[in-house]
Structure 1
Amino acid sequence: MVELVINQRQHSIGAFEVGRVLPFRQRRMVGPFIFFDRMGPQELAGPIGREADVRPHPHIGLSTVTYLFEGTITHRDSLGVEQDITPGALNWMTAGSGISHSERFDQMRQQGGRMDGIQAWVALPEDKEEQEPDFVHYSAQQLPLISETGLQGRLIAGAALGLTSPVHVDSPLFYIELRARAGQSVPLPGGHEERAIYICGGGLEVAGQRYEAGQMVVFAKGDAPRILAFQDSHLMLLGGEPLGPRHIWWNFVSSHKERIEQAKDDWQNGRIMLPPLDNQDFIPLPEY
């Protein structure tokens, strides 16, 4: 049974348009996933102006999860990490008590090209919200492949479909990229209280109802619906155990409102370090 359908809404992050799915007024989270943006598909003409980059900005209380289908982004953070992310690879940055990072189109700057992928945030359990920040990059070769008749994809994080990802997670979840041929049944992992499928391309049929690209289909707890790809489809499957309510303001997530206020003050007064390899500019607090 389908519990809710969320249509992505166009949202501007500087000179770049994204399709925002989570948070949504009727559904703030799916499992620990509290933020879900489709970055593209968009053709960026070269040379790409620096106004399209995401300048250094802060996070607390969450992990950012960046996974690309096309294009290249250069990540730099306050831990001193510099890492290009390419299609099929994964950047998993845990903000914990506080981190800042930038995302720039350095490798695509001159030639331009197509950009497409998903930026998600995963909230941390309350007892881990203040852990030390961390960053881990996983190459495409490290993520388990899903290869069955009519199905191809990767298990990005968690355990599902008989596979286990090497990605460290702080709460039970699953996150999968899957491509399904027309007429193929799509497996929805069980064992998690909250589950959803975001349709990147193509379309799904559930109980006679069709859903199309740009929609996130949220499923009822414990249900095992028959899901059919009625055309060749590109999907993101996600879910996990709920963590309880979270406050979210700008790039900050926390169980406690006062912690959000502290993070605002910390960023405004320079107590969250800028990336040492990208410290000439930053995004100020929205209210300033």
Structure 2
Amino acid sequence: MKTERKIIRTETPEARPGFLGAGHIARQLVGADFEASDPFIFLMDDVLDKKDTTPSGGAHPHAGFETVSLLLEGEIGDEAHKMHSGDFQLMTTGSGVVHTETIDRPMQLRLLQLWLNLPRKYRTATPRVQDLPLKHVPVLDEKGVQIRLYSGALNGLTAPVHHYVPLIVADVSLEAGATTVLDLPAQYNTFLYILEGGVTAGADEQPLRKEQVGWLDLFEEAGPSTLKVVAKEEKARLVLYAGLPQHEEIVVHGPFIADSADAIPELYRQYRAGRMPHIATVPAAQRILL
């Protein structure tokens, strides 16, 4: 018998000016309490309406986790790793890597970028990047509902992305009045982020509106579960994230994640000594186009 999941916590993240300058609005969707959000460390919704050619962003290091990027609008990245609207990227920073996100021309952009925990035994994994372009994303169209599956397995779809932590990422669109029932592992920590319109979700039909986050109840034992989502009087769109908690403590410092505070200075030393490769220069086997 499948457990019916329900929404137990609703949040409305505040829109704030972002670090990319004029026209950048950022919402922090995840990041207040890692024990509650495990395996999700941070998730930002970055919206940019850039009017000038002053470069924003640039090269910077990361280590100890994975970045999970879903580009909703625009394009970003360097020539080796250019993302366009609807593309998805999972970068394993592992032992340490540098990557570049520079925006130097007028454009509109919206990016959801998640920091995903790496289990302790994989914390220093060899860096790699997996790119899944929109044209290769598995899609299900059925009864007024479209599911684009970027990661994991959901409702008969399976995405080609490889994982250290089991992860589901799906972009779900519903026509007005449409209903979908999503099949999820009961032990996956799961939340929805509403991009457009409004829905009711879960066994108790909790309402969620645009720019709200809804967290599901979570079960310790493995097993199947379902989440019912219904669009209201207008079409709706949401992104679903579900991941297996790792139950490990982490230390977050700047661009790095580590097992302990003692490991952070060494990561900075490696970066300053030039011992972290740029992701564009790693061997071809570590740059995976799906």
For Structure 1 versus Structure 2, the TM-score category normalised by the shorter chain is 0.7 to 0.9
- 1:126, 1:255 within 8 Å by CA — same for their partners in 2? yes
Query: Structure 1 residue 146: deviation in Å?
Result: 2.1
Write the distance in 2 (CA, Å) between the matches of 1:236 and 1:168: 20
DSSP 3-state at the match of 2:67 = strand
Is 2:265 the partner of 1:261? yes
Query: Structure 1 residue 268: deviation in Å?
Result: 4.4
- 5 Å-filtered alignment, 1:67-216, equals 67-75=70-78, 82-106=80-104, 109=105, 112-193=106-187, 194-206=189-201, 207-216=204-213
What value does the CA root-mean-square deviation take over the aligned residues? 2.3
DSSP 3-state at the match of 2:82 = strand
DSSP 3-state at the match of 2:197 = strand
Partner of 2:64: 61
Give 5+ residue unaligned stretches, structure 1.
Answer: 77-81, 278-288
Partner of 1:9: 14
Give 5+ residue unaligned stretches, structure 2.
Answer: 1-5, 220-224, 282-290
Partner of 1:48: 53
C-alpha offsets along residues 3-34 of structure 1, whole Å, 9 cap, x if unaligned? 22232233522313321111123x55645222
Change (3 A) 1:254 1:185: farther
Is 2:16 the partner of 1:21? no
Output the amino acid matched with 2:231: A
Change (3 A) 1:62 1:29: farther
Partner of 2:228: 226
Change (3 A) 1:224 1:137: closer
List, as ranges, runs of 4+ consecutive aligned residues in structure 1 with deviation greater than 6 Å.
none
Change (3 A) 1:128 1:192: farther
Moved more, 149-158 or 255-264: 255-264
Query: Structure 1 residue 269: deviation in Å?
Result: 4.8
Write the distance in 1 (CA, Å) between the matches of 2:39 and 2:205: 29
TM-score in terms of structure 1 length: 0.82
C-alpha offsets along residues 185-209 of structure 1, whole Å, 9 cap, x if unaligned? 2433321421111111211223254
Query: Structure 1 residue 135: deviation in Å?
Result: 1.5
Partner of 2:284: none
